[in-house]
Structure 1
Amino acid sequence: MEGGMPFWQTLILSSILGWVLASSAFDLTRRVRALTQPWVTRRVIVDTPSILRLQRIQHRFLDNMFSVLSCVVSVPFYTGFLPLLFWSGHSKLARQMTLLMAFCDYIGNSIKDMVSAPRPSSPPVRRVTATKDEKENAMEYGLPSSHALNTVCLSGRYLLHYVLTHGVQNGVTVAVGFALIFTLVMLIGIGRIYLGMHSLIDVAAGISFGLVILAFWLTIHGFVDDFIISGQNVTSFWASLSFLLCFAYPTPEFPTPSFEYHTAFNGVAFGIVSGIQQTYFHFHHDGVPHIFSPQLPLLVFLGRMLVGIPTILVVKFCSKAIAKWLLPVMCNTLGIPIVSSCYVPALRGSDSGKSKSDGKQLGYLQRVTSFFPRKAYDVDTGIRFLQYAGLAWSVVDLVPSLFSHLNL
């Protein structure tokens, strides 16, 4: 289909929009929650004695070991690791890993907030939150365990599938790979229970959903990569997809940080896709030098880190500042009522649901957007999205351009 949107893009966007409308009209989130939450809550209560028995072997070494393991497979770790993977020449691996992580984060957090099932009650369960990230995780709902889900998907896809498809394949390698992945997943699952962060049903659900997501991703990842590199309407389609996914996200029983995490990774995915689509043949094709090769020795890679890390942090700060100024102006111009939960002090607690144009004739742009429900939207969602989109774009576009000019 030339000159327009391909059928599959129309189908995907129409399906998500249909879900948004159906969910709103028939209150599907509340209905699903009514069916699943009581059962999961009972399972969490039933699992509590097993958690307490496991925690009887409490030891400082186990506390530290499982806390470190949780950090190593956490979203912040992957977030810090991915830019280095891009700059090391493994762009295909990095972009696939980024998109899969964004996909896992969206699906996992959507299920968490849709079911809204509690974590094990503390007390009596001893909850170990050694880092700020763990304390924020404890504020989310329990099922499924994101750590278990992400470990299955990311380690299964990249520590095994990617290595086997790009290296020597034999029975010993496959067996060792599966043994390592199985051991890692089991340690993460046991660790989440030992730390009091999850019950057995949470971990089992995380592993199960992870296997399903991994199987689905391995089916489509080639198509997704080809589309990003040379597809039609890449940036416009992904922008529309990101916008609709924000509205498709289920409303939890009580607010949690899960939606904020999704928004950040939604922005990261958009920044990566738009940046790769524009610069693939310059910086991200299969022929770029890899780390430890004569063209990219370790010292040059360290130079890339010294240039790249401060640059993306500056871009993140600037993207946030620009979005904090630009989005409120745009929304006021369009007549879209907004509030801010933290980023824009002037909009905190203000009755932005009342348009400044009340009692006046609406302008053209305001009439265009009059189909929006007359409620106040949290502008922080858009600010967070643009902030992380800018950061991700700088990783794959701006920073590689600096490397090129500096001969790094």
Structure 2
Amino acid sequence: MVHMLASGVFISGVLKDMVCIPRPLSPPLVRITMSKSAALEYGFPSTHSTNAVSVATYALYYLHTTDCGLSSSVRFAAIGIGYAYAASIAIGRLYCGMHGFFDVLAGGALGALMALLQIVYGEMIDKWALADSILNPLIITAVLLLAVRLHPEPADNCPCFDDSVAFAGVLIGIEFGLWHYSKTAFSNDSPVPGTVPFDLRTLGWFRTTARIVVGIVIVFMWRATMKPLLLRCLPPLFRIIDHLGFILPRRYFMPANQYELIPPLRKDDNVIPSASDLPGFITSLRHPRRRAISIGPQSEADAHEVIASREQRRGASMSQPILSPLRRRAYTESEAISAAVVRKPSFGHTSEGDQPKFTIDAIAAVHGTKRSGTAKTPISAGAPPTPPSSDASAASDSSKEEERLDREMFSQLEKPRVRYDVEVVTKLVIYAGQ
């Protein structure tokens, strides 16, 4: 099951960086998410849909084909839950504005393929990987490292690669961990080699809970120790390798020869909160954070999509019947306003319950509406549009205004943090070790 999920995340990340299709245009859509960094990634295919469909398909297959000792009513309820789970995730991604229909459809198809491969070949691959020789886990590791190296370069600074690297490390750690455990006297060979025996009546609740707590503590201690150690020790080694000419640089990752020390990373990269953060962490548990609403472009990919959409609408309008300048201006502005109903003008995140405000400039930046001047005048429902002084001057002014608004749009984007070349190896080691 873990192999299936990790492979789904890795392959969907490869496809995202390969085709570079942004998330749905915002506005008119409003994105609802719990993570501000999610909008920085590409949208095709949907990784959530991939994982949901793969899990549901795998579970439904065994509910239909095996005797799990469940009564007919319980089995029927479990099947219904499986279908509802997959459908709710897919529909939820559409509702939240994080994916379009084809993103979800492609993600679901990829998830079904992952489940099919796991059903048909999963047991055979497990037996091959857990053979007596350690050569087989080493071959799998070499293939995964090669896949990380060949991961396509995105057109924009997209963090999809980070997730792919993390789950490649998970797969490497699973292969070596299962291979080692299967050779001990604690494992069972049924139903597959490396099975962890578990009997609640034999262990009891205390030892069962203690195993979970100790395991979580070990994972956190490993991550809290290895991350700062690797970030300190790897840069000098990378500089030596780079001097020898063996470094293969990756776009958007700063090479070690351009920095001396890695500064403290942003808090979203810290695994364990500091002591000063603990009161706020406890408060957030009692008062769960509200959903973040992303309005407007959140990444370079979003901004380029906005400009491309504007040019596409402009080309389409050129093929429409000729309107007078006054009527054309009234039409484009009313179209922009109707598409931006209940939208916030500035690009960024806001919380639920904020009162929306409108400005012509904000809507023009997204929808390509032409307006001279730089003042951000609130929209008035009954205010008639002002006709341009002349077609030539209006075209020149609107072109300059569009350039200014485009620069403003790019300047307001949330910049991805600086990523360092040693973080790739650091992620592989940390996720493999835990």
Greater alpha carbon shift after TM alignment, 305-314 vs 228-237: 228-237
Is the aligned partner of 1:148 residue 2:49?
A: yes
Unmatched 5+ stretches in structure 2: 261-419
Structure 1 residue 299: Cα displacement: 2.2
Residue 369 of structure 1: aligned partner: none
Give the unaligned 5+ runs of structure 1: 1-96, 352-376, 392-408
Q: 2:181 is matched with which residue?
A: 279
CA distance in 2, matches of 1:382, 1:263: 9
The yes-or-no answer on 1:251 pairing with 2:153 is yes
Correspondence for 1:196 among 97, 107, 121: 97
Please say if 1:212 is aligned against 2:113: yes
Q: Cα distance, 1:128 vs. partner?
A: 0.9
Which residue in 1 is equivalent to 2:87?
186
Aligned pairs for 1:8-47 (under 5 A) are: none
Q: Is the CA contact (8 Å cut-off) linking 1:113 and 1:251 kept in structure 2?
A: yes
Secondary structure, counterpart of 2:177 in structure 1: helix
Q: Deviation of residue 297 (structure 1)? A: 2.1
Aligned partner letter, 2:174: I
Compute the displacement of 1:209 (Å).
1.7
C-alpha deviation, 1:255, in angstroms? 2.0
Q: Partners in 2 of 1:192 and 1:110 — Cα distance? A: 20
Is this contact kept in 2: 1:341–1:380, CA < 8 A? no
For residue 157 of structure 2, what is the amino acid of its counterpart?
P
1:139 aligns with 2:40: yes
Question: Could you tell me which residue of structure 1 aligns to residue 315 of structure 2?
Answer: none
Q: 1:215 to 1:386 in 2, by over 3 A?
A: same
Work out whether residues 59 and 82 of structure 2, in 8 Å CA contact, stay in contact via their aligned partners in 1.
no
Q: Tell me if the contact between 1:263 and 1:381 (Cα under 8 Å) persists in the aligned partners.
A: yes
CA spacing shift, 1:162–1:258, aligned 2, 3 Å: farther
Alpha-carbon spacing, 1:340–1:111, altered in 2? closer, same or farther (3 Å): closer
Provide the residue aligned with 2:9 in structure 1.
Answer: 105
**RMSD of Structure 2 on Structure 1 (CA):** 3.2
Is 1:328–2:328 an aligned residue pair? no
Give aligned pairs, total. Answer: 267
CA distance in 2, matches of 1:274, 1:329: 28
Among 374, 378, 382, the alignment partner of 2:425 is: 382
| CA–CA distance in structure 1, aligned partners of residues 204 and 66 of structure 2 | 25
Q: Which residue of 2 aligns with 1:307?
A: 214
Change (3 A) 1:329 1:234: farther
Distance 1:303 1:118, change over 3 A: same
TM-score by length of 1: 0.58
Cα distance in 2 for residues equivalent to 1:218 and 1:173:
23
Does the CA contact (< 8 Å) of 2:239 and 2:257 recur in 1? no
Distance 1:163 1:313, change over 3 A: farther
Q: Secondary structure at the match of 1:142?
A: coil
Q: What's the offset of the Cα at 1:119?
A: 0.8
Q: Choose the corresponding residue for 2:32, options 119, 124, 128.
A: 128
Task: Give percent identity, aligned residues only.
Answer: 26
Shift of residue 272 of structure 1? Answer: 1.3
Whole-angstrom CA distance in 1 between matches of 2:113 and 2:148: 23
Q: Return the letter of the residue paired with 2:426.
A: I
- Partner Cα separation in structure 2 for residue 271 and residue 111 of structure 1: 24
What amino acid sits opposite 2:231 in the alignment?
A: K
The 5-angstrom pairing of residues 262-273 of structure 1 reads: 262-273=164-175
Q: Deviations over 1:209-250 (max 9, x none)?
A: 211222122111011211232254123212211210112211
Greater helix share, structure number: 1
Q: Are the aligned partners of 2:227 and 2:430 in contact in 1 as well (CA < 8 Å)?
A: yes
**In 2, distance between residues paired with 1:266 and 1:312?**
17
Would the aligned equivalents of 1:276 and 1:284 in 2 still touch at CA under 8 Å? no
Match of 2:373 in 1: none
Superposition deviation, residue 265 in structure 1: 0.8
Q: 1:383 to 1:274 in 2, by over 3 A?
A: same
Distance of 1:291 and 1:162 partners within structure 2: 22
Please say which structure displays the higher CA radius of gyration: 2
Distance 1:338 1:288, change over 3 A: closer
Contact 2:63 2:75 in 1 (8 A): no
Q: 1:290 is aligned with what amino acid? A: F
Cα shift at 1:288:
4.5
1:157 equivalent in structure 2: 58
Give yes or no for contact 2:23–2:100 (8 Å, CA) kept in 1: yes
- Match of 1:180, as an amino acid? I
Structural mapping, 1:46-61, within 5 Å: none
Higher relative contact order (CA 8 A, sep 6+): 2
TM-score (normalizing by structure 2): 0.55
1:261 Cα deviation after fit: 0.5
SS in structure 2 opposite 1:297? helix
Contact 1:328/1:379 (CA < 8 Å) preserved in 2? Answer: yes
